[in-house]
Amino acid sequence: MSYVTVKKLRFPVIVEVDEDGYYVVSCPLFKGCHTYGRTIEEAIGNIKEVIEMCLEEEGLDESLKFVGYREVEIEYAKTTADKSERAT
């Protein structure tokens, strides 16, 4: 007789909104683990399915641990041409 062990796992996800208003969700523990949805609920449901697919394909690497989320600050300057230069 064989037994199946089931355990609940938690995975970090990053949620963003794109220019069209869709929610884009990624799991940083798996390469290419991204999806989207029209609502945040749909996007979260979709990422759960994608994570399950990643687990089936890659397995669970328990050495990977999500450390945290940080924001970094950079200076960004965009140069645009003068209106007089664009007319030429």
Instruction: Give residue-wise pLDDT tens across range 28-72.
Output: 999 999 999 999 999 999 999 999 999 999 988 888 888 888 888
Integer Cα distance of 84 and 61 in angstroms:
58
Spatial CB neighbours of 12, under 8 Å, sequence gap ≥ 6: 27, 28, 29, 66, 69
Query: Residue 37: in which H helix or E strand, if any?
Result: strand 34-37
Per-domain residue ranges of the chain: 9-59
In the structure, what pLDDT confidence band is assigned to residue 76 with cuts at 50, 70 and 90? very high
Q: In the predicted model, is pLDDT for residue 13 greater than 60?
A: yes
> Do the bridges between strand 14-17 and strand 34-37 make them parallel or antiparallel, or are there none, so unpaired?
unpaired
- Long-range pairs for 37-41 at CB < 8 Å and ≥24 separation? 40/15
What confidence score (pLDDT) does residue 21 get? 97
Integer Cα distance of 55 and 24 in angstroms:
20
The CATH classification of domain 9-59, taken from the options 3.40.630.30, 3.30.9.10, 3.30.160.250, 3.40.50.1820: 3.30.160.250
Q: Is 0.85 topped by the overall pTM?
A: no
Q: In the predicted model, is pLDDT for residue 88 greater than 60?
A: no
